[in-house]
Chain A
């Protein structure tokens, strides 16, 4: 499997001609519509489902040619989507809600991460197993994430004034070096880095303590939803197929990611561990029943409640399931 994927990648690398020929493949003669998907971070297994959709021709068969635009620390997702540079962006419910509050006409079309990946990471000798444990401890985090911590505290009756907040970069080193007792981070990145370096850590997933918030949400503008439905349906359909394939074979998805981005500085142990840890965040009984990316009025209501605590009052209009319904109807 691994070798066949790499071979395929290399044959693609030989030239665009290969793509063109492949497009003539299984009975699809339509012209390819070129669109872009704005990712929320640097290339990694975090987006492996999209790479599978691309490499296996899921999008091509649906008449789409999708460019996957890398994100980064200074690459917000919302501006390219508002500008039309990207058809769809991968955001999160809180980011989308604040953008909408600032006048951006976004809607959430699908939810890749059903469970929010935010977590409190600590070391076993001084663990944070539940929110109450944070009291009296030093937490390291970028201060821009203050509202997240505030909400977690409110949800669990924790006195935030009893937590010492140490502004740090998004980096596990302060925890390992003993400068802080715990970190506010994603369960799929800094804890994985520590695991790979042989440092055992305790990860308290905030989603288990009431922090219900959709993450890796697919967003598009009202205008796109009104005028480019077919493209949106095709894009999300390819995503759904890609992520289902990802779930079926994490090893293959990881190897594909590594082969596709040889210059990204990715290492296999980290990527495979991250791939494993994001599965329970992305797939649930709900997605098993209805399909990848699904959300319900109930989960939306829970999100609205969390967003309210974050200081972002929104209505259910922020979500639009019609595209996803078309994706999973056929």
Chain B
């Protein structure tokens, strides 16, 4: 596997690679077996030995299920990432429309599964359509955001060079931006690999008749803890393989550390009024697309609520005040968890990236666990987290952090590698300690990637909190949406969805504001 070589500064030879990650994995397996032994009889965790035995005994069934899920995940991965590339190119081609494109991408990413599942199933009928779509929806956003950063991550003089010979945007895209964006694209694809598998599995919750997700539901309800953890292990193993393969691909495509990204400050910065106008336009486009998509697909108003239905429900209907109060109360409860959850996920990801930079040897133990946590459905891990940390703040925040830290970790690791070689050489010349190098050279270089992670974590954290509410606290928007869905209260469900999207967008805008302040100093090329 590739995890060690992913680290900044780590240039292991083929010989050095194997022994580096192997002890970590062995340590992890022993820890796992020990935990399973300790928890025996509580039906929460099965150890690696039981898992291997179960996998061996059910090899045929598991292989067939994995084949179905992985095929859907692969299609979702391809489609979602192509969509991300298309969106990023669109935003690049229309600089004034970039805000609208980014806003639209954000809102679609905010749609919770409880709202989209019935629509997808009705649109596609039986078959793999919803699974593939949900997998694609799970990956496009975490590729789109780093790609947007990467397409700008080049010094101004490279673009001057293109213009010098009378060539414009297309040449700059092919000769400079595409190559400069490659490391960022690879980071996005690495985040996408586990997300696609998870998305395909969750997609099977919408009424599939086979696949790993179906088996997970069955195993959990059947109290078959060995089967549950075998399935978790399989999905984690496949995700790790995908993550590693993509990392290797990235190193093969773009092996060199970039040169210094020191550029003159941008000539112009958009004014506040202009940004407000873009925001208003985005809202308008979102509402129009929402309405038009449902009308064109001729979706029944019973479950596919239009913007005007939500308006009526929340503003003009006789019970509107009560509905608003319910919604507001739930949203406040959710927000109280979202902010600590968001910070926890982000800090965990960035801190882990920093630790791995300081102690590259830890990567062998940490990265497999990180990828595994991200690729195992939270429904299997949540009971363990709740057992260890309870249903209060600690447990809930832990669930949210587990669901959100991974993009931050991968993006920050990638960002830490962007520290210019010449700057690192300066630190080497003064025999600076790794901590000094991290603080003064690598962390500033990491900032664009960190803020990209911070932005894409906003909607992820909001969704994660609703899941934690459903799994552990039984409060807030997660509870409200589950209850609304089970009572066919699609008005409330879509109102909740719209509220979550709006809150996510506001959070995103807030982070973007902070980002502009920070990047003006550390990475001005990102602001043009």
Interface-central residue, B61, B118, B205, B470, by most chain A CB under 10 Å:
B118
Contacts of A194 in B (CB 8 A): 223
With both beta carbons as reference points, the residue of chain B lying nearest to A143 in the complex is identified as: B474
B207 within 8 A of A: yes
Contacts of B518 in A (CB 8 A): none
With both beta carbons as reference points, the residue of chain A lying nearest to B298 in the complex is identified as: A83
Give A45 Cβ to nearest chain B Cβ, in Å: 13
Give B18 Cβ to nearest chain A Cβ, in Å: 36
Contact between B208 and A70, CB atoms less than 8 A apart: yes
In the assembly, what is the distance between CA of A99 and CA of B489, in Å? Answer: 7
Contact between B121 and A82, CB atoms less than 8 A apart: no
| Contact size range, B | 35 or more
Contact between A173 and B122, CB atoms less than 8 A apart: no
In the assembly, what is the distance between CA of A193 and CA of B217, in Å? Answer: 13
With both beta carbons as reference points, the residue of chain B lying nearest to A104 in the complex is identified as: B302
Contact between B207 and A70, CB atoms less than 8 A apart: yes
A263 within 8 A of B: yes
Chain A positions 165-206 with a Cβ under 8 Å from a chain B Cβ: 165-167, 169-174, 176-179, 189-190, 193-194, 196-197, 199
A42 within 8 A of B: yes
In the assembly, what is the distance between CA of A165 and CA of B474, in Å? Answer: 9
Stretch binding the partner chain, chosen from A6-14, A71-79, A277-285, A297-305: A71-79
In the assembly, what is the distance between CA of A75 and CA of B471, in Å? Answer: 18
Assuming the A-B contacts A72-B206, A169-B382, A171-B220, are A265 and B299 also in contact, with contact meaning beta carbons closer than 8 angstroms in the complex? no
Interface-central residue, A36, A143, A267, by most chain B CB under 10 Å:
A143
Contacts of A171 in B (CB 8 A): 220-221, 223, 383
Contacts of B470 in A (CB 8 A): 142-143, 167
A116 within 8 A of B: no
Contact between B215 and A265, CB atoms less than 8 A apart: yes
Contact between A72 and B208, CB atoms less than 8 A apart: yes
Assuming the A-B contacts A95-B488, A167-B473, A169-B220, are A74 and B300 also in contact, with contact meaning beta carbons closer than 8 angstroms in the complex? no
In the assembly, what is the distance between CA of A212 and CA of B209, in Å? Answer: 31
Contacts of A263 in B (CB 8 A): 61, 64-65, 68, 209-210
In the assembly, what is the distance between CA of A36 and CA of B126, in Å? Answer: 10
Contact between B303 and A78, CB atoms less than 8 A apart: yes
Contact between B217 and A73, CB atoms less than 8 A apart: yes
Contact between A264 and B474, CB atoms less than 8 A apart: no
A229 within 8 A of B: no
B482 within 8 A of A: yes
In the assembly, what is the distance between CA of A43 and CA of B301, in Å? Answer: 29
With both beta carbons as reference points, the residue of chain A lying nearest to B479 in the complex is identified as: A143
Contacts of B61 in A (CB 8 A): 262-263, 265
Contact between A170 and B221, CB atoms less than 8 A apart: yes
Assuming the A-B contacts A174-B383, A265-B65, are A67 and B482 also in contact, with contact meaning beta carbons closer than 8 angstroms in the complex? no
B219 within 8 A of A: yes
Chain B positions 179-218 with a Cβ under 8 Å from a chain A Cβ: 202, 204-210, 214-215, 217-218
B379 within 8 A of A: yes
Contact between A267 and B487, CB atoms less than 8 A apart: no
Contacts of A102 in B (CB 8 A): 302, 487-491
Chain B interface main SS type: helix
Contacts of A99 in B (CB 8 A): 302, 488
Assuming the A-B contacts A69-B207, A80-B122, A95-B486, are A176 and B300 also in contact, with contact meaning beta carbons closer than 8 angstroms in the complex? no
Contact between A98 and B207, CB atoms less than 8 A apart: no
Contacts of A76 in B (CB 8 A): 117-118, 303, 485-486, 488
Give B195 Cβ to nearest chain A Cβ, in Å: 17
Contacts of A144 in B (CB 8 A): 479, 482-483, 485-486
Chain B positions 212-244 with a Cβ under 8 Å from a chain A Cβ: 214-215, 217-225, 227
Contact between A173 and B44, CB atoms less than 8 A apart: yes
Assuming the A-B contacts A42-B218, A69-B126, are A167 and B474 also in contact, with contact meaning beta carbons closer than 8 angstroms in the complex? yes
A125 within 8 A of B: no
- Contact pick for B205, options A75, A101, A261, CB 8 Å: A75
Assuming the A-B contacts A95-B488, A143-B482, A169-B383, are A79 and B221 also in contact, with contact meaning beta carbons closer than 8 angstroms in the complex? no
Interface-central residue, A73, A176, A179, A189, by most chain B CB under 10 Å:
A73
A272 within 8 A of B: no
In the assembly, what is the distance between CA of A167 and CA of B202, in Å? Answer: 21
Give A119 Cβ to nearest chain B Cβ, in Å: 15
Contact between A70 and B126, CB atoms less than 8 A apart: yes
In the assembly, what is the distance between CA of A79 and CA of B300, in Å? Answer: 8
Contacts of B379 in A (CB 8 A): 169
B9 within 8 A of A: no
In the assembly, what is the distance between CA of A170 and CA of B482, in Å? Answer: 13
A314 within 8 A of B: no
Chain B 465-479 near chain A by CB (<8 Å), digits 1 or 0: 000001111110001
Chain B 63-84 near chain A by CB (<8 Å), digits 1 or 0: 0110010000000000000000
Contact between B42 and A173, CB atoms less than 8 A apart: yes
Chain A positions 260-276 with a Cβ under 8 Å from a chain B Cβ: 261-267, 270
B423 within 8 A of A: no
Give A214 Cβ to nearest chain B Cβ, in Å: 17
Contacts of B302 in A (CB 8 A): 78-79, 82, 99, 102-104
In the assembly, what is the distance between CA of A190 and CA of B220, in Å? Answer: 10
Contact between B117 and A75, CB atoms less than 8 A apart: yes
A85 within 8 A of B: yes
Chain A 202-241 near chain B by CB (<8 Å), digits 1 or 0: 0000000000000000000000000000000000000000
Contacts of B206 in A (CB 8 A): 72, 74-75
Contact between B204 and A72, CB atoms less than 8 A apart: yes
In the assembly, what is the distance between CA of A169 and CA of B64, in Å? Answer: 27
Give A183 Cβ to nearest chain B Cβ, in Å: 11
With both beta carbons as reference points, the residue of chain A lying nearest to B67 in the complex is identified as: A263
Assuming the A-B contacts A72-B217, A99-B488, A102-B302, are A270 and B209 also in contact, with contact meaning beta carbons closer than 8 angstroms in the complex? no
Assuming the A-B contacts A75-B207, A265-B215, are A172 and B474 also in contact, with contact meaning beta carbons closer than 8 angstroms in the complex? no
Contacts of A179 in B (CB 8 A): 386-387
Interface CB pairs A-B, < 8 A, 28: A42-B217, A67-B126, A70-B207, A70-B208, A74-B205, A75-B207, A76-B118, A76-B486, A79-B302, A80-B121, A82-B300, A83-B300, A95-B486, A101-B488, A102-B489, A104-B302, A143-B470, A169-B383, A171-B221, A173-B383, A174-B383, A177-B43, A179-B386, A193-B222, A193-B223, A263-B68, A265-B214, A270-B222
Across the A-B interface, the 6 shortest Cβ-Cβ residue pairs: A167-B474, A75-B207, A143-B474, A177-B42, A79-B118, A99-B488
Chain B residues with CB under 8 Å of chain A are: 41-44, 61, 64-65, 68, 113-114, 117-119, 121-122, 125-126, 202, 204-210, 214-215, 217-225, 227, 299-303, 379, 382-383, 386-387, 391, 470-475, 479, 482-483, 485-491
